[in-house]
Structure 1
């Protein structure tokens, strides 16, 4: 899978880099000219040679600057496109995928692994191409000057290979392991910061530190291995290069003394020798860099290759007026464990229904399958007779406004949170009305920036109850047919909950929408038009609170247990 491409802009930058390198090949020849002069004099030829040398240096500076900019900017542009592509793909992945991932690992793939690809595109490829041509050009020039000295200089290639090839193979393995270790460290660090309040309240600092320390030590151990390899390669190459330089100097000095080689030519050879050391190392490191790039490509391609949520269905026309949501024989298993079995349920516009049952009965899972966060294993969900799968995911989820028990407040302002996902521009007056409905208006008005006040990460500057109320206000601003409240008032006191539920009842009648409430608190559900009692993964009874109390012993027992809990 091609994630980054060789574009005309990148090729242009590489071509300019090649030109700059070829210009450099002329400098040793100019130095040779001056060294070979019997007596330094400002002759016309010498002035021209000196002027040419100055022009080469200035031209090299300008061309190299433009080359570096073209290559770097093109790399940044492609990295931006790849990160956007990854972000779009991540947002389209099904909920099941995220249940099996650590968010920090995904973050590392999008940030760190993409940087590896950028480095290969903007550094390794240009350096390898330019280096190869520099080596070739140097060999052609030196052969024309003295083929014997050139053959001696060629020994640098097998000698350098003896060092870099075996150590490079070890480096490849370490680099791949380091990428995975860095992703794991990013994951645990992100999780520990995100859950810092839970960590502190449970006195779990030592546990979290131990977990993070393991990952840090793992990465440290791999870094030390890489450091040892690097520490060996550099001195070994320097030592071998020095030995070869001495051999070239000694052989060249003998040739100069015998008169078969000029001093200027020997000086030029030395310049060429030092000039190709860098390119030789760049070419030698190409395969280890390529291996690291392939590892990053594989991991990124795994994300891109994941099956996204089905977006294929188009916009369906839904008749105006009352809506009927039905679940017929719905079954669902999570990781091969049955969670729902043959569930039947109906909800109508203007009606308030409740889903109740013991913890783990499948109430929240029902909300998840209704909104198509998870695909059904069997059965059918329909709206006014039309199957849910006939609608695009975007259109189907637009029929529902959901408030979850867990914190879904995002970092940003109050306005950002209220208008999250809103497909229209809501005037400030409407935002204030939503806040007033959940009794947050006065609090927000006291903030220095009002609606534009920042809330911190995940709404850290709000209390738990304020966060829930803000989430309810956000939900009520949407245009929906059914409002789903999943333990949405669990952090509110009884009086505040009563006020908000009364406001939601009024909203339901005004919008002619349905309301599906999932709650344990009896006061939240007893006034529902119909209650679905869930046990053993299915709905075993439905009716009003009074009807269920009279007819269903299991429901009576459940209510009694809840009353005991609420009193204790």
Structure 2
């Protein structure tokens, strides 16, 4: 199978080293607007440069302050400068936020598209909550860096460097004394920054884990309640909440140290500047206006330091998020583009020496071989865990056989396009899945052409679903609830059958389609299944032999191996375990050649 053409070049090992180049590649592939980004950066830089000029205005204002020297023109000019700076800053923030939102939308679009075409094996090995966290939280981290922290970082760098250059120009001795305090502050701030990064990364992971627990429990809340497992699941959730609380406390402790230390550094610098600067003012080496400018520039150096520190912390978090996003984007996906169309579906299906295992586990299917004639009914029976449902997954190409081939006529099924191949199938399982929506939505789900009211009602009638639908107050517009919870098992099965009828598949797969139903519902669903099976190649998995005794071919599969095949009568005579199954479920007469369902 081909991997995505949009996958990020480079190994995962490289990403794990925090390679910022991979982050830039990821951002470039979302194609952010270069003109808007350029204008935003220019406005942001211009706003910062204006802020650097303001202390010089203040210096001149203080040094030459008198009512006679103060003009409305100066006041107006300063006012205009402040207004322009405010507008430029606001526009810059909006544009960068717009770009950040566009980037995260593109990333989520790529991820969503990728998640829909990933192989089923990905979902076998990854929990749903973690995948949701990648889609929401990790992309949000990337957006936060671009929209909130990146502009602060660049303007902060400009502000710090610009302020230091101006200060050296004004008085290099005093500037040197001021900068001498910064290494002392770094001794405290750098370790705290590293600790904050570790806490933030752990908090991300714990949040993803907690999201997984919530998704799992809330999606199966009825199982939780019917099993009286509320206290157990409360314990699991409480553990996640406690872990998040501990991370929050650790984060609060570090922040509680950072804020006072920043204040301490600020006060220390002020004391140094005011004390030393006051001495130089009194000696005439420095003007009062220059001292005020020094204090203003000090603020423009210290305040951005917090933004720069936050940027690096957020950047490290973003690199971690990028790793996880790239990991998904590089996952092997199904190939939905290549392959030919299925032109003659009514041909023999051949399973030829097929073996399959999930990953490195023990094989589930061993050297399986049989044929399914077009238009016939083939039943697959045997003990649970024998690989029957896995065989259906192989037929639908959710997985590829480890060895052997599956053919339709003379063509291997992998030579057909996935869309064309899967469109030949209708699948009705024991728990037929329904989506949250109306009955109409569910019957028409996956149908890519306009469905007329007549076609809809005909499918429902053949599925014996029209009667109960007509009795509902809103009929076909009735909401079924999440996973169809508002309907009974029999009603859900009949809607699934109506969906399959509307799809008009050429190959039908029934996986324990009636095993979970009561006897009354089973009779109705069996009649609906007869309508569905008519004229179609059908494979049936069933534990109840009463549903398959009339099949043209019965395959008995044990532990992934085919141990017997034939009609009901043939297996009854030749296969010991099938005979045991039959005698448990069916009543046999003295001749063993006539079967009657037990009452």
Which is further off, 257-266 or 364-373? 257-266
Q: What is residue 553 of structure 2 aligned with on the other side?
A: 530
User: For 1:342-421, what aligned pairs fall within 5 Å after superposition?
Assistant: 342-421=367-446
Give 1:232 shift: 0.6
2:108 to 83, 90, 113: 83
Give 1:390 shift: 0.7
Cα 1:444/1:503, change in 2 over 3 Å: closer
Cα 1:396/1:247, change in 2 over 3 Å: same
Q: What is residue 333 of structure 1 aligned with on the other side?
A: 357
Q: What is residue 64 of structure 1 aligned with on the other side?
A: 89
- Distance across 2 between alignment mates of 1:508 and 1:35: 94
Q: What is residue 51 of structure 2 aligned with on the other side?
A: 24
Q: What SS does the aligned partner of 2:142 have?
A: helix
The answer to whether the Cα contact below 8 Å between 2:428 and 2:513 also exists between their aligned partners in 1 is yes
Give 1:204 shift: 0.9
Q: What SS does the aligned partner of 1:25 have?
A: helix
Cα 1:56/1:280, change in 2 over 3 Å: same
Cα 1:12/1:450, change in 2 over 3 Å: farther
Q: Does 1:519 align with 2:546?
A: no
Give 1:259 shift: 2.5
The answer to whether the Cα contact below 8 Å between 2:119 and 2:334 also exists between their aligned partners in 1 is yes
Q: Does 1:11 align with 2:58?
A: no
Cα 1:213/1:169, change in 2 over 3 Å: same
- Distance across 2 between alignment mates of 1:156 and 1:486: 74
The answer to whether the Cα contact below 8 Å between 2:97 and 2:146 also exists between their aligned partners in 1 is no
Q: What SS does the aligned partner of 1:380 have?
A: strand
Give 1:563 shift: 4.6
2:573 to 528, 550, 561: 550
Cα 1:98/1:507, change in 2 over 3 Å: closer
Cα 1:33/1:444, change in 2 over 3 Å: farther
Q: What is residue 47 of structure 1 aligned with on the other side?
A: 72
Query: What is the TM-score of this pair, normalised by structure 2?
Result: 0.89
1:368-387, CA deviations, whole angstroms, 9 ceiling, x for partnerless residues? 11111111011111112210
- Distance across 2 between alignment mates of 1:338 and 1:57: 73
The answer to whether the Cα contact below 8 Å between 2:341 and 2:421 also exists between their aligned partners in 1 is no
- Distance across 2 between alignment mates of 1:401 and 1:407: 12
- Distance across 2 between alignment mates of 1:301 and 1:494: 51
Q: What is residue 10 of structure 2 aligned with on the other side?
A: none
The answer to whether the Cα contact below 8 Å between 1:24 and 1:56 also exists between their aligned partners in 2 is no
Q: Does 1:212 align with 2:237?
A: yes
The answer to whether the Cα contact below 8 Å between 2:462 and 2:531 also exists between their aligned partners in 1 is no
Q: What is residue 451 of structure 2 aligned with on the other side?
A: 426
Q: Does 1:485 align with 2:475?
A: no
1:37 to 51, 64, 71: 64
The answer to whether the Cα contact below 8 Å between 1:117 and 1:293 also exists between their aligned partners in 2 is yes
The answer to whether the Cα contact below 8 Å between 2:104 and 2:143 also exists between their aligned partners in 1 is yes
The answer to whether the Cα contact below 8 Å between 1:438 and 1:472 also exists between their aligned partners in 2 is yes
Q: What is residue 5 of structure 2 aligned with on the other side?
A: none
Q: What is residue 301 of structure 1 aligned with on the other side?
A: 326
Q: What is residue 17 of structure 2 aligned with on the other side?
A: none
- Distance across 2 between alignment mates of 1:491 and 1:81: 43
User: For 1:113-124, what aligned pairs fall within 5 Å after superposition?
Assistant: 113-124=138-149
Q: Does 1:192 align with 2:190?
A: no
- Distance across 1 between alignment mates of 2:299 and 2:221: 54
- Distance across 2 between alignment mates of 1:560 and 1:156: 91
Q: Alignment length, in residue pairs?
A: 562
RMSD of aligned residue pairs (Cα, Å): 2.2
Which is further off, 284-293 or 300-309? 284-293
Which is further off, 371-380 or 433-442? 433-442
- Distance across 1 between alignment mates of 2:187 and 2:202: 24
Q: What is residue 531 of structure 2 aligned with on the other side?
A: 506
Question: Any stretches of 5+ residues in structure 1 without a counterpart?
Answer: none
- Distance across 1 between alignment mates of 2:99 and 2:474: 40
- Distance across 2 between alignment mates of 1:376 and 1:201: 38
1:14-36, CA deviations, whole angstroms, 9 ceiling, x for partnerless residues? 22111111112222222223322
- Distance across 2 between alignment mates of 1:317 and 1:372: 14
The answer to whether the Cα contact below 8 Å between 1:113 and 1:300 also exists between their aligned partners in 2 is yes
Give 1:38 shift: 4.3
Q: Does 1:167 align with 2:192?
A: yes
Give 1:446 shift: 4.1
Give 1:364 shift: 0.9
Query: What is the TM-score of this pair, normalised by structure 1?
Result: 0.93
Q: What is residue 94 of structure 1 aligned with on the other side?
A: 119
The answer to whether the Cα contact below 8 Å between 2:469 and 2:475 also exists between their aligned partners in 1 is yes
Cα 1:551/1:305, change in 2 over 3 Å: same
Q: What SS does the aligned partner of 2:363 have?
A: strand
